[in-house]
Structure 1
């Protein structure tokens, strides 16, 4: 579009007017609706156990609005579990040897039909004043194959567990009243060969907009540097879901990080036609821009406003950064015109204790941990990430390879790629699109070349500012390798990288996966019987390379842009080189909690900027006196001298990108390393033999979590001198007030301990439901004797025009493993006007908060079969076609959770806690047999 210029004399007035306009409230609202959902398991194929869903004569696919069973608007979900999102039900399950190897042996998925379907329900109120707005529900991601209903209306199915999606519910809203959102997630099918979780594991929003509005992900901001200025191109897609016609004004305003207005632009355009979309482009200039960089991640904010008849009707914000990227086939990667070696890691999206349901704060925690290690790049392996991950990378300065899930040329594949790119293309952290990973079936042939050409050209049509790559592992010869813009080498041992480069000298390249080493944190002798791998950096197998070997290869070749290690963090699943009972990978530079393995310090030495000196192993080797121990030093010092109990064992020169080794006969005491630069002592590192554990130490990780309600607490034990005990494995029990624990972990790849300790909820059906007619409408207050010969099947062939004065109903329910600690309740569904309930002959009273809920004294219950009687005066049909409820309700059995606990693994455990919204203080305590109890207060 043509840019509108104003005379200098009017510029000040125009800027003031624009600032006033930006302060006006638009019709757009985005409301996070993560709180207070109801959840229950359904069933993969047994519709009775799936709450009778899709059993109706008319299904939700047959007639509009016929969502039935638990998809129905008025389905009674009171007995379901109450929870907040994000939620991953897979991480809550026990481990099982028969479960999926790749998904960490969690008892969920296709082999567990009773734990493969999850139902979610939430009620929301929408104001009557919202009538006339476009109302939509937005999901950042549901794993997997989700069906969504709104007030019983089927909205659609999203197969992918990684795509965000949105449904327009405007026509189905009960304005001025209650509305019901229902999600059925089917996690029986795996998309990846790694742990993926299950359920609504990302955020959900309610959005309200004017009928003329900026489409979701409807802006695209690019920049071009010219001399000391940046020319900004801001494209916007506007949709009209109303009947308004005529002129609109599009106002584009850029603000800096301090919220200072930098520049603005205004254009008059015509409104799109009904249910059509129109695209408009504006040009803006930023003088002397602050560039986005890994060390100074400067961000700007574009506010796009639509004005109609002098009123702002929509306002849409886009965060962006100004920077240049370039791949050179001779000299690697350049950021803002300066060469930058990519020091990257691959990562999956799960974390200890919480699975894939990461609070936003944990995204920052993980990216900061990687930054501490010296990493500057992150590859999303192997699927689109959650939006909050990219937000953290934007704000913290971490480059990102953004990767789609599956290669292909049809709508399923290209639509997924387009949605990912349109969602993520404004993030300055994203510097490369990946359209595939290790597609062995097509990598080396013509099909791979064709698919790559289509996907690459398709990607360029959506975003021409970033290059495209594919991670390739089955040889670097032809097929995908000969077509992809940026060659992605997966592992040195899989082909001759130098030979490929000599054949394709105009094709830039980088190591998209390298390393794949095995290491268990705190273990220094491999023990295959225990499934523990030594943490020394060794070749994992003959054709693969250690971390050091890999980095030396890539660091020594200017034409290679850098490398991405497999992986930054351990993750659930793929417990190579072992199987059960190993349940997590061994590949990470850090474990699943983010506790560093020793390789972290090798990378920190050569990836970071600060002086580093790290000594391994620990020095607690009781019973191994006189045994030769391998002692390594990771450092970027010029020289390192090693001492044992103050006796020098020699000074050694450090090779660039290398490490130092000594053989030391073990003797208790102090192992000390001294680092020298330019002949001067600059660093000292010690490993000391400790006494027995006496104290529990709790540390709050303030540096790595942004301000919020979620905190990461490190648990360890110390001896009488306050020294960390690196071999401790005490079981610690936890308690909390003013908050809740989200998950526990310790980094042990063979730990089969629970990740979560939550109340177990069983829903028990009432069976064999029968009735007898009673001639009086006066309901009994004590259970009478009723003839056994007169019981008939309840409600069968009921003549609703000739009903009895009242009825007595009888049913049975089974209680297994009855315990005095169980909480057993009956959630009654109305089958009468007035009701009296008896359990095993005892009258029970409704609860004070819900007249249709009865909580039983466990003393009147029996293990096994129990009997329920309900005396009720009948409901009457108002219209002949009224459908009467014949379901008396459900029995809910709550088994309270055990106390939260976790064993230390080599001295450490991690607890993730969340502060209650209204709590002034969180008090967290830890106790263990033989150790002093410790309390941590968070205000």
Structure 2
């Protein structure tokens, strides 16, 4: 055998061994779903200036040209130490001021085409992957990034996701440094709007690291449907199993149903399956569940299915799916049925932002909002007009809220249909979801044959994936034509746009409901319209001839059995669309609740007719100084039979409450007490009072919960108001309240529900970075010199730095260098923290600032060095940086050596948190910072007694998280 043959055999043998080593099954293959929200870095980039976008995409080879060539902030070695530290979810738009040149529909927040400096954001995170994970399938999953997200891992370009609403996931197994650090970089570009409402900016939903065996259940790979007959439920589980290994796999799969208490209630028989390499297979089981507990709005009972894959009796993968057992049916003449019982839909439309935090809502805030809507009597929620965050649907599942899950954009190309498919794959196991909406008010096509074709194609595609739910579209015009001729459930947007009875007669087999109704305008706590102040009285009246009042709308749908119900526009106010105004209003007036979730008066009309809860509410408040003797319109909302009104104990008359209506009195104002008494069956049932108050004397704070979990995620919603000397809430107060917090908690946002407010919603420290400019160099004999000598070198002795190639010849000729550069500091640095994040430009180096030594003979550091600069070292204006260094030399001609000595970071402390009351109220959101103990929140205001509120932060089990750097 020749030497060449022996060498070839050795090489082949080595490759076989190496391949076997790579394919070895790790000891632990259990599935992990790890939260990846903490410890990110954030900085603004730029949509078109590469110098301000960290030079990304400017290399000779771009990340689109060759694998692993992510450059600038996408490069693994990029120094992000000066970037701001953030946790997710994060919305950088809510942090911006409002500006008249910004988008009307997006609440005039200073992002978008007119604001390139704040329209692109970069995120970076360092995380570790254990060496033992080699051989597993590892992916990174984003629940939502607004928008046009480009993602890299370790400099490898993963892909671009244009939509701000759909989640996306990338397999990163091949790109990882196992046993070491890994870098993820995300560039989000919010320059272009996707909707016409506030959408935020950035990684505003969760990020996850998912780990599985090569043989595993696919992501969103289960689909559970239920059929109920008497006391038996047939639970059909379809699970897609993927074999990403290089060899065929023989395995068994079992599906087990677990009840809400964690008990096993039923299971399928194990099936033995053979799956070829790089293939997937859908496996179906039907499991009988005896005496099932049905999911409903009143009793939202949830089960789980555990899908388990075993090889040689060893568990390889377990996949958990939460589901509910329930039946749904729409009838063209009788409306909607849940579990065979008629349910009138009492719904609201909602966008996904909240006061103080924008679209970056903590999970507990989703619960708060759904509970608030349920307390109003709502039983349904339309996701307007985009796929929601998964946690919103989780909250609806747990709390009992029916959902229209809505697609963002109609169309029939693969772009559009793939988005719909991703939506359905993600959300199809939520029992709360009763309908897929394929579009909203597509005016350009909704009344045409083109619209009909698009809707028909999309509806067919939806039903091919999920035939258990109904398809709808919200249509505001062209009833009787176009989309309305083919859609499963006709979505009526505003009864003034057509005649629902005519549509029903023309299409008697078509189901229908009101997907939008109302669009009324109201400023919470305001009862006289003042257009100069852009305030609208909070009485339920038609806004104009194109829309009806909430009461008129509800009566229309309540009186027609063929209509399943209606969704009010909207449940909550939201940023943007400040109809009927423009600037300076920045938020909508449509909500039954304001942006904080404080109720407007319409809430009590709905509670009267949407619930059986005894309700009586009178409006307005009774603080009308200067209006003595003037007529005030007094309304009463109630589900009592009769209501009698008293002013200062004198009866103003008793009236009978009309079905689905309200009562009115014209009252000559006199200060004192206005009382309404409700009667049921001729007996006094309930009362409501409003009183004239005195001046405010004290601040008050109330929390929705007295303790929160110490997990960096949980929140408390704090209501702020002021009281008079008798402890009465002052409904007209507009005091500015200042807040401070101590302990393991932080304030993450403030609001007051005023759609005209331009106040900051977040108060953050400001970070500014300063470059070292005009870096020059001078060669010297060695590094053994002192600062006095360095300072004597004239400028004529220096030349621009790094002009000479740092090759081996340079290393032979030059043993040491003096570098000189400068940096400018702003005038006001007294309160600032100044940090120099140094990057090595020598194998060893000594550093001076303004002639004073800050480091001596420190070795080259790949991660860099950090120096906090004492104020005695620096001054406002020009400062000098001097570095004496042994030069870095290229070992190969293609090597890149660092020529940037780093950045100076200036951090100015955040101002105090504060907010003015609007109509007597404001809101603070407090979040855990991770430790246990008491969180002390203090509220103060000029001339008022302060208030201290204590919230307990309690130790809890944390969600599994990625291993940090």
- Are 2:276 and 1:266 aligned? no
CA shift at 1:822, angstroms?
Answer: 1.5
Look up the SS of the partner of 2:140 in the other structure: strand
**Superposed displacement of residue 840, structure 1:** 3.2
Take 1:768 and 1:873, find their aligned partners in 2: how far apart are those partners?
20
Mark the CA change 1:81 to 1:877 in structure 2 (over 3 Å): closer, same or farther. Answer: same
Q: Separation in 2 of the partners of 1:703 and 1:607?
A: 30
User: After superposition, what is the alpha-carbon deviation per residue over 1:474-499, rounded to whole angstroms, capped at 9, x for unaligned?
Assistant: 23120001011100000011112211
Which of 771, 778, 793 lines up with 1:786 in the alignment? Answer: 793
- State the Cα distance separating 1:705 from its structure 2 match: 9.1
**Any conservation in 2 of the 1:92–1:756 contact (CA below 8 Å)?**
yes
Q: 8 Å contact 1:345–1:564 — kept in the other structure?
A: yes
Matched, 1:325 2:334: no
Cα distance in 2 for partners of 1:570, 1:540 equals: 16
Partner of 2:478, secondary structure, is coil
Q: Any residues of structure 2 matched to 1:529-568 within 5 Å, and which?
A: 529-568=532-571
2:235 matches 1:232: yes
- Tell me, yes or no, if the aligned pair for 2:41 and 2:84 is still in contact at 8 Å: yes
Deviation at 1:860, TM superposition (A): 4.3
C-alpha RMSD over aligned residues: 1.7
> Structure 2 CA distance, aligned partners of 1:242 and 1:934?
62
1:872 aligns with 2:878: no
Task: Give the CA deviation at 1:815.
Answer: 2.9
Counterpart contact for 2:708–2:951, Cα < 8 Å:
no
Contact 1:365 1:704 in 2 (8 A): no
Please name the residue that 1:638 is paired with.
641
2:832 paired with 1:832 = no
Q: Give the deviation of 1:878 after TM superposition.
A: 3.0
1:755 aligned residue: 761
Structure 1 position 589 matched with structure 2 position 592: yes
In the alignment, is residue 774 of structure 1 matched against residue 784 of structure 2? no
Kept in 1, the 8 Å contact 2:29–2:136? The answer is: no
User: Which residue of structure 1 aligns with residue 752 of structure 2?
Assistant: 746
TM-superposed deviation, 1:431: 0.2
Aligned to 1:195: 198
Residues 876-911 of structure 1: per-residue CA shift (max 9 Å, x gap):
333333211111111211111100000011110000
One of 338, 343, 354 as aligned partner of 2:341? 338
Following superposition, the deviation at residue 861 of structure 1 comes to 3.5
Q: Is the 8 A contact 1:364 1:704 kept in 2?
A: no
Q: SS state of the match for residue 232, structure 1? A: strand
Structure 2 residue matching 1:92: 3-state secondary structure: coil
**2:461 paired residue among 450, 455, 458:** 458
Cα separation, 1, equivalents of 2:786 and 2:842? 14
CA deviations 1:584-628 (Å, max 9, x no partner) are 100000000000000000000000111100010000011111111
Please tell me whether residue 913 in structure 1 is matched to residue 926 in structure 2.
yes
What pairs up with 1:115-134 in 2 under 5 angstroms?
115-134=118-137
> Could you state the TM-score of these two structures normalised by the residue count of structure 2?
0.93
Residue 704 of structure 1, CA deviation = 12
Counterpart of 2:525 in structure 1 is 522
Once the two structures are TM-superposed, the CA of residue 226 in structure 1 deviates from its matched residue by 1.9
1:755 aligns to what SS in structure 2?
coil
Q: Distance in 2 between matches of 1:449 and 1:476?
A: 12
| Greater shift in the superposed pair: 108-117 or 725-734 | 108-117
| SS of residue paired to 2:883 | strand
Cα 1:468/1:646, change in 2 over 3 Å: same
Query: How many Å separate the matches in 1 of 2:489 and 2:61?
Result: 53
Please list the CA deviations of residues 786-819 of structure 1 after superposition, one character each: whole Å capped at 9, or x if unmatched: 1211221110123432242221222233333533
Once the two structures are superposed, the pairs formed by residues 692-771 of structure 1 within 5 Å of their partners are: 692-702=695-705, 709-738=714-743, 739-771=745-777
Unaligned runs of at least 5 residues, structure 1: 1-23
Partners of 1:881 and 1:542 in 2: how far apart? 72
Give the secondary-structure state (helix, strand or coil) at the position aligned to 2:275: coil
Any conservation in 2 of the 1:823–1:895 contact (CA below 8 Å)? Answer: yes
1:795 to 797, 802, 818: 802
**CA drift at 1:140:** 0.5
Contact persistence 2:243–2:249 (CA under 8 A): no
Inter-partner Cα distance in structure 2 for 1:495 and 1:302: 46
**How many angstroms apart in 2 are the aligned matches of 1:861 and 1:442?**
64
Per the TM alignment, residue 275 of structure 1 is displaced from its structure 2 partner at its CA by 1.9
Q: What is aligned with 2:824?
A: 814
Q: Give the distance between the partners of 1:39 and 1:480, measured in 2 at CA.
A: 44
Confirm or deny: 8 A CA contact 2:31 2:211 kept in the other structure.
yes
Q: Which runs of 5+ in 2 are unaligned?
A: 1-26, 953-965
**Would you say the 8 A contact 1:59–1:67 is kept in 2?**
yes
What's the counterpart of residue 961 of structure 2? none
Deviation at 1:225, TM superposition (A): 1.2
* CA pair 604-703 structure 1, distance change in 2 beyond 3 A: farther
Structure 1 residue 709, shift from structure 2 partner: 2.4
1:937 to 947, 950, 961: 950
Please tell me whether the aligned partners of residues 778 and 799 of structure 2 are also in contact (alpha carbons under 8 angstroms): yes
Separation of aligned partners in 1, 2:236 and 2:110: 50
Residue among 819, 823, 826 paired with 2:833: 823
Taking structure 1 as the reference length, the TM-score comes to 0.96
**How many residues of Structure 1 are paired with residues of Structure 2 in the alignment?**
915
> Does residue 1:151 correspond to 2:154, yes or no?
yes
Q: Distance in 2 between matches of 1:331 and 1:761?
A: 60
Q: Which of 881, 893, 898 is residue 911 of structure 2 equivalent to?
A: 898
State whether residues 806 and 890 of structure 2, in contact with CA within 8 Å, keep that contact through their aligned partners in structure 1: no
| TM-aligned CA distance change 1:704 to 1:479, over 3 Å | farther
Give the whole-Å Cα distance in 1 for the aligned partners of 2:311 and 2:566: 51
C-alpha distance in 2, partners of 1:25/1:835? 46
The answer to whether the 8 A contact 1:728-1:906 is kept is yes
Alignment of 1:543-692 (within 5 A): 543-692=546-695
Cα distance in 2, alignment partners of residues 370 and 388 from structure 1 = 16
Q: Is residue 90 of structure 2 the alignment partner of residue 87 of structure 1?
A: yes
| Shift of residue 827, structure 1, vs aligned partner | 0.8
Q: Distance in 1 between matches of 2:49 and 2:391?
A: 37
Q: CA deviation at 1:875?
A: 1.9
Q: Equivalents in 2 of 1:630, 1:743: separation in Å?
A: 36
How big is the shift at 1:706?
A: 9.5
Distance change (3 Å), C-alpha of 1:222 and 1:799: closer
Distance verdict in 2 for CA 1:25–1:666, change over 3 Å: farther
Does 1:854 pair with 2:867?
yes
The match for 2:853 is: 843
